[in-house]
Structure 1
Amino acid sequence: MTSNGLGSPPLPGRDGISPGPLSPTGTSSPSLGGRSSNPLSSKVTSVLSTSYADSEFRESLILLDERGISNTAETRRQLRLDVQREVIDSNGKIITEFGRVADQLRRIGTTIDKLNKSYQDMRGHVTAAHKSTSSILEEASSLMTQRRNIETKQQVLKAFREHFVLSEDEVASLTLVAEPVDDRFFAVLAKAKRIRKDCEFLLGFENQTLGLEVMDQTSKNLNQAFQKLYRWVQKEFKTLNLENPQINSSVRRAIRVLAERPSLFQNCLDFFAEAREQILSDAFYLALTGDSASGAKDNSVKPIELVAHDPLRYAGDMLAWIHSAAVSEREALEILFISDGNEIAKGIQEGRENELWLLMADETDGPPEFDAVKALNELVDRDVSGAARILRQRVEQVIQTNEETILAYKLANLLGFYRFTFSKLLGEESGLLQAMGNLESEALRQFRSLMRDHITALEGEFQHTPSDLAPPEFLQDALKQLTAIMKTYETSLASEGDREADFEPILAESFDPFLSGCENMSKNIRAPSTSIFLINCLLAAQSALNPFQAFTRARVERLQTAIDEHGTKLIESQYTFFRSESALEPLFAALAPLDDGSKEDVAKVAGLDALQPESLVRAGQGLDDFLPSAVMDAMENVKHLQDAALAREVTEEAAERFCVDFEHVEELLAAADELAEEEGRTGGDEREPSSLRALFPRTTGEIRVLLS
């Protein structure tokens, strides 16, 4: 189909003749438009006014395209006729089909009429049957409702009995002593506790009679069950072997459950502690003597009293046995009481919250919190308390009968070691720890007493100073004793921060009195022997304390300060020796106040008595006689000083001071000579003044060489 310039074929006019072009050139002439403006203008206007965007128009064009009609004059003339003919044919087909539908509808109507008639017949029969059976149906419905209600009540009653009521067998297992305490007992006990707790739900209803009755009966059964469990636990405790690693699990379970009754649980613990205390006391007595509490001899045991050869070994063996017993007891009780977590703590806390007196107490306070570790420590402490009493008696006897100072301190240190160990094992509040602290204090008192007695016995020796100024024998013995004490203390478990403070009282008892004795002895001799003697004593003490500066550092520093002070005194003594023996004391004394930089002071030099020619010659001669043996003579003064290096250091320091003074003298003499030369030249005096340096020619360099 050929399309026109608008994209679709022109439609034929009313007469079937397609309009042609308006003019051969495609433009209409004015005359023609004026003459045929009526039909043609209308046609053109109609064509031009057609909207090609209209959906119906576009569909018409699409239909024409689908028919494949070519745009010819013949086709345009026949198109309307063909379309009308097709419409008439289509309408005929539709009428035929509707005729068939009408036949079907008539047959359906006939069927519906038959169905209506059958329905009416059936309805009449049903109505009659309903009238005859309505009373029977109502009665059956009522019976069915009653049956459902009865079944529901039976189920509720069955559930209630299963949940809230214990059977006779369960009550017998829970309360009768003849029945064993086994898994069934604990299961029934748990059920009874659950029943009592669930009774709180029943008490929420208006009628509380049932809940009160069930709770009352259950509480009675529970009380009887706990009494039965309490007696059973006491019976088991009598034969319980804590040394057996496989402790009966039923006992542990029973203890966990019994913890819900704190009073019964505490009574069981008291009974258990008494039994264990007696057992451990008998075992300790057997270990000490080899005889049981009944007097029977046990040859398999080596008695501590016979094996230990000295008091320290004897006390150490007893303490080791107590420590071993406490550790074993704690491990066994951990398995027995807290191996299953904090179940016992939970049970005791729950029981305390339900105790009557706690419910009556102030609500703000609340029940005290249970500390399982603390309770375990207290129980172990109670178990070993009997053996601890025997230990205290034996150790006190050892302390009181001992007469050796070192042994007394070693006993105190041993007790301190075990006191520290037991504090880690049982806590700071245990009775065993207090007993160890008292024994340690007693041993230290004995140590101090023996030390004072020893010092009293040595007071006679404090009056005689050794001729060689060496440390006295009593000080050397005291330092040996102190060294043994410090070695003992070094192995103790005292904390690093407190070691020095803890050891200070020991030094005050075992060291200070002897050092004070040496100081008193030094008062009877002259200087410099006083300083030499004290330095020797202080050096010996420092040498003994140096290896243990971890806890004697402050005391070593104090000793060094004292040594330095006495060393200063020795330097002063040696310096005085140099000045006096060199015959230069008058010269030094006269020139010391003068300043070599002041002309006024220099002018005074020549007029001093010590600077007169005879005095200078005598001073120079005395100096020359002194210098060859000056160092040897000075060293002879400190020959008793046991530290040769310190003796040399002291002498060298004194010689240096002497050289400094001599240098001052030399400078003043040289300045005086220069001043004299200047005055001689300016005064015009032809006499040559005598030179001080010529009378006293020694130089500082020569002095330093000779004194080095």
Structure 2
Amino acid sequence: MSDSRNNSKSDTDDPIKKRITKIFESRIDTDKEAIEALTDLSTFFHDNTLQTRRNLRSQIEKRSLAINENFLTALKQVKEAVDAIYVDISSMTSAVNEMQECLNSAQSQSHDLIQQTNNLQAESDKLQIRQQIAGAFISKFQLTIEEHQQLYGSTRDDPIKFEFFDALARVQKIHSECRILMQSGYQTAALDIMEEMTLHQEGALERLYRWTQHHCRNIDLNEIGLLMEMAMQKLQDRPVLFKYVIDEYATSRRSILVRNFIDALTIGGPNGNPKPIELHAHDPKRYIGDMFAWIHQAIPTEKENLLLLLKQCDKHDLTDQIQTALSHISDGICHPLKVRVETIFNSEKDLIVLYAVANLMRFYQNIINNVVKGGQLEECLQNLQAFSEHSYLNSLSQQVKVLLQGPPGTNIGLEPPKSDLVPPQSVNKLLSILKEILSVASMVESRQSDITKIVSCVIDPLLHSVTESASHLPSVDMACYLLNCLYNMQSTLAMYEYMDDRMERLQAQSDAQIDTLTSEQASSLVANLNLGPIYTILQSSTTKLDLNQLKMFMEKLDAFLEMPEILLLPQVSLLQSTNHRLTVQKRSQSVIVAIYKQLYDRVHDPSNEYQNTGSVFKKSPEEVAELLSC
């Protein structure tokens, strides 16, 4: 047992055996260190001989020694560098210690100064904040130097520029924001700033007023630009200054309008085109029409430019001022217009021309009055219209008077009726003049009033003269003559409107004359048919009719029925109206028919005891009426 223990011990303690065992047990292909050792060995172990194997150990040791020597050399250099660093660090440490000592000494010495500096820095920060606040306050509630210069200008005559309105808006904005400042508790500062801004605003508006007034005094229509519009918008807040500027503008434009009107009358347009209006003074219609056409064109232009001047203003409260200014501008042309129009009406004698010019003036008057209301121009146009109406009515009256009075200087009145009882030539001529002027009047706007006045101006004196001239005639001749005159008047007026009332009055007069003629014609028939005594007996219920007398009546009646016109009055046949003749004839014959019926009924009444009535009355009243077409 001791032998075996010794054997195992010897096996365990034998290093060579251990290595050999380890070599056998190891796996070279997975041993990284072994592979690296063999790889390094291959660098200098080239030949695998006995000699080289014996020298292998010594070579490895030599190689290991060389490596250690190289390492020692490199380590020496490192040590020298570390020693140098150490020396430097030691010197730095000494310097740092010295600096620390100096710093500690300086710190102890400047402690009070640092504390004072910190206090001053804090105070400086506070002052800087206050400065920023004050700067912001000033920039918000004070004007800059440039804005102040823009408000007041460097000189009194400096023109207004757009920057002026920016500065003025800035003043108004500061003034309004002061209310917020007052609500924040800074009443004193806010009131002071508001007072200062008010002074600035008043001064700026005063300068703006002077500039605007001067500009309006010398204004041309092409100079109404944005600056003027903005100026008027700002001045609207000052009604008095605003009114003064509007008045100055209206006065300036009034003189310019009058000058332009006179130039248009006497000089004409640029380079003589259009020609002067007064070149056509010989043609009243064109002359008056050109003048009113120029006014009709000029006044709306003035209104447009006035509205352009007030474009940026609130026009809700400016309607009256605009109309007043426009009236003042246009009033200047009243005198030259009135003089020329009155000259034309005083010199022109043609009635149709006078009436045409009056209607032309009425047309333009309505148009112009829609643009300009009130003022002297409206009154002037009304007076001229009244004057023109008076002129043509007076001219018409004069013509009527001349024709109704006979030749000049005779004053014999309307010529007496002739034997044919037709209207005289004067009546026909007057009606022809009336027809001519009514043909013009029926085409105008205010034709109802014109037609009524014109007809009254002619028909009333004509009726009076006709009645007066017929008053010396016998009743039948007078009735026939008046009917013929009235028929001509009715025939003339029937072609025109608004004549219903006049036609009714003429018809009433005609009916009266027809009644007269009917009465005379019926009396003539009664006399020619010997109906007078018979009709007297008919009025008495007790007196009996004579059959012989009735037979004579029936013989004349039969002859009358065969030729009714044989007993017609000569004057009735002179009536120009067929309708009038038939009316008189039928009404008078209806009287005969009525008397015949009474007579027929009396004779055929059994209570009257007439004998052999059939031989006397061969026709019934109905047959007589049918034969006379009554």
Common fold: TM-score over 0.5: yes
Q: Hey, what's the Cα distance between the residues in 1 that align with 2:119 and 2:432?
A: 114
Deviation track 1:400-457 (CA, whole Å, cap 9, x = no partner) reads 2233444443343333333222222212x23211001111222233334334433443
CA gap 1:665/1:139 in 2 versus in 1, 3 angstroms = farther
Alignment check: 8 A CA contact 1:538 1:559 kept: yes
Matched, 1:227 2:206: yes
The residue number in structure 1 matching 2:4 is: none
Deviation track 1:346-397 (CA, whole Å, cap 9, x = no partner) reads 7xxxxxxxxxxxxxxxxxxxxxxx3x33322322222222222210111122
The residue number in structure 2 matching 1:589 is: 536
Shift of 1:555: 1.8
Matched, 1:492 2:444: yes
Matched, 1:169 2:114: no
Q: Hey, what's the Cα distance between the residues in 2 that align with 1:256 and 1:513?
A: 63
Q: Hey, what's the Cα distance between the residues in 1 that align with 2:218 and 2:628?
A: 93
The residue number in structure 2 matching 1:365 is: none
User: Quick one: which amino acid aligns to residue 181 of structure 1?
Assistant: I
Alignment check: 8 A CA contact 1:333 1:376 kept: yes
The residue number in structure 2 matching 1:395 is: 341
Matched, 1:415 2:338: no
Shift of 1:478: 2.6
Instruction: Pick from 285, 288, 291 the counterpart of residue 315 of structure 1.
Output: 288
The residue number in structure 2 matching 1:57 is: none
Structure 2 alignment gaps of length 5 or more:
1-111, 406-411
CA gap 1:651/1:432 in 2 versus in 1, 3 angstroms = same
Matched, 1:453 2:398: yes
Alignment check: 8 A CA contact 1:583 1:623 kept: no
Alignment check: 8 A CA contact 1:193 1:222 kept: yes
The residue number in structure 2 matching 1:213 is: 192
User: Quick one: which amino acid aligns to residue 231 of structure 1?
Assistant: R
Aligned residues between the structures: 509
Matched, 1:667 2:604: no
The residue number in structure 2 matching 1:281 is: 258
2:272 aligns to what SS in structure 1?
A: coil
Instruction: Pick from 406, 417, 421 the counterpart of residue 469 of structure 1.
Output: 421
CA gap 1:630/1:163 in 2 versus in 1, 3 angstroms = same
Alignment check: 8 A CA contact 1:322 1:388 kept: no
The residue number in structure 2 matching 1:568 is: 515
CA gap 1:587/1:291 in 2 versus in 1, 3 angstroms = same
Structure 1 alignment gaps of length 5 or more:
1-134, 347-369, 595-600, 678-689
The residue number in structure 1 matching 2:463 is: 515
Instruction: Pick from 355, 374, 382 the counterpart of residue 320 of structure 2.
Output: 374
CA gap 1:412/1:299 in 2 versus in 1, 3 angstroms = closer
Q: Hey, what's the Cα distance between the residues in 1 that align with 2:375 and 2:228?
A: 27
Alignment check: 8 A CA contact 2:303 2:326 kept: yes
Shift of 1:570: 2.9
1:660 aligns to what SS in structure 2?
A: helix
Which deviates more from structure 2 when the two are superposed, residues 618-627 or residues 276-285? 618-627
CA gap 1:697/1:155 in 2 versus in 1, 3 angstroms = same
User: Quick one: which amino acid aligns to residue 245 of structure 2?
Assistant: C
Q: Hey, what's the Cα distance between the residues in 2 that align with 1:589 and 1:143?
A: 152
The residue number in structure 1 matching 2:624 is: 703
The residue number in structure 2 matching 1:96 is: none
Q: Hey, what's the Cα distance between the residues in 2 that align with 1:536 and 1:149?
A: 119
The residue number in structure 2 matching 1:349 is: none
Q: Hey, what's the Cα distance between the residues in 2 that align with 1:300 and 1:578?
A: 80
Which deviates more from structure 2 when the two are superposed, residues 469-478 or residues 163-172? 469-478
CA gap 1:642/1:554 in 2 versus in 1, 3 angstroms = same
RMSD: 3.4
Which deviates more from structure 2 when the two are superposed, residues 225-234 or residues 167-176? 225-234
Alignment check: 8 A CA contact 1:312 1:407 kept: yes
Q: Hey, what's the Cα distance between the residues in 2 that align with 1:306 and 1:262?
A: 46
The residue number in structure 1 matching 2:435 is: 483
Q: Hey, what's the Cα distance between the residues in 2 that align with 1:621 and 1:553?
A: 47
2:480 aligns to what SS in structure 1?
A: helix
User: Quick one: which amino acid aligns to residue 425 of structure 1?
Assistant: V
Q: TM-score, normalised by structure 1?
A: 0.65
Instruction: Pick from 244, 253, 258 the counterpart of residue 267 of structure 1.
Output: 244
Instruction: Pick from 370, 385, 400 the counterpart of residue 424 of structure 1.
Output: 370
User: Quick one: which amino acid aligns to residue 186 of structure 1?
Assistant: F
User: Quick one: which amino acid aligns to residue 575 of structure 1?
Assistant: A
CA gap 1:553/1:152 in 2 versus in 1, 3 angstroms = farther
Instruction: Pick from 185, 205, 208 the counterpart of residue 164 of structure 2.
Output: 185
Q: Hey, what's the Cα distance between the residues in 1 that align with 2:218 and 2:297?
A: 22
Q: Hey, what's the Cα distance between the residues in 2 that align with 1:430 and 1:331?
A: 18
The residue number in structure 2 matching 1:622 is: 556
Alignment check: 8 A CA contact 2:219 2:252 kept: no
The residue number in structure 2 matching 1:646 is: 580
CA gap 1:221/1:629 in 2 versus in 1, 3 angstroms = same
Shift of 1:324: 1.4
Matched, 1:258 2:235: yes
Shift of 1:189: 0.9
Shift of 1:236: 3.8
Shift of 1:167: 0.8
Deviation track 1:293-344 (CA, whole Å, cap 9, x = no partner) reads xxxx953341111134322332222112111111222223223324x4xx34
Shift of 1:288: 1.2
The residue number in structure 2 matching 1:556 is: 503
The residue number in structure 1 matching 2:493 is: 545
Deviation track 1:584-642 (CA, whole Å, cap 9, x = no partner) reads 23213321x36xxxxxx4xx3xx43xx22442233233334444332344274422222
CA gap 1:503/1:707 in 2 versus in 1, 3 angstroms = closer
Deviation track 1:258-314 (CA, whole Å, cap 9, x = no partner) reads 22222222222222222212222121112212279xxxx953341111134322332
CA gap 1:612/1:249 in 2 versus in 1, 3 angstroms = same
Q: Hey, what's the Cα distance between the residues in 2 that align with 1:388 and 1:487?
A: 32
Q: Hey, what's the Cα distance between the residues in 2 that align with 1:142 and 1:587?
A: 155
Q: Hey, what's the Cα distance between the residues in 1 that align with 2:557 and 2:567?
A: 14
User: Quick one: which amino acid aligns to residue 619 of structure 1?
Assistant: F
Taking the TM superposition and a 5 Å limit, the aligned residue runs for 1:53-132 are none
Alignment check: 8 A CA contact 1:635 1:647 kept: no
User: Quick one: which amino acid aligns to residue 399 of structure 1?
Assistant: F
Q: Hey, what's the Cα distance between the residues in 2 that align with 1:661 and 1:512?
A: 40
Shift of 1:186: 1.1
Instruction: Pick from 381, 387, 403 the counterpart of residue 436 of structure 1.
Output: 381
Deviation track 1:459-502 (CA, whole Å, cap 9, x = no partner) reads 234251243323333333333333343344334333xxxx6456
Q: Hey, what's the Cα distance between the residues in 1 that align with 2:452 and 2:483?
A: 22
1:694 aligns to what SS in structure 2?
A: coil
The residue number in structure 1 matching 2:19 is: none
Alignment check: 8 A CA contact 1:410 1:485 kept: no
The residue number in structure 2 matching 1:658 is: 592
CA gap 1:657/1:254 in 2 versus in 1, 3 angstroms = same
Identity of aligned residues (%): 26
Q: Hey, what's the Cα distance between the residues in 2 that align with 1:490 and 1:160?
A: 79
CA gap 1:503/1:627 in 2 versus in 1, 3 angstroms = closer
CA gap 1:211/1:622 in 2 versus in 1, 3 angstroms = same
Q: TM-score, normalised by structure 2?
A: 0.72
Deviation track 1:45-70 (CA, whole Å, cap 9, x = no partner) reads xxxxxxxxxxxxxxxxxxxxxxxxxx
The residue number in structure 1 matching 2:39 is: none
CA gap 1:189/1:547 in 2 versus in 1, 3 angstroms = farther
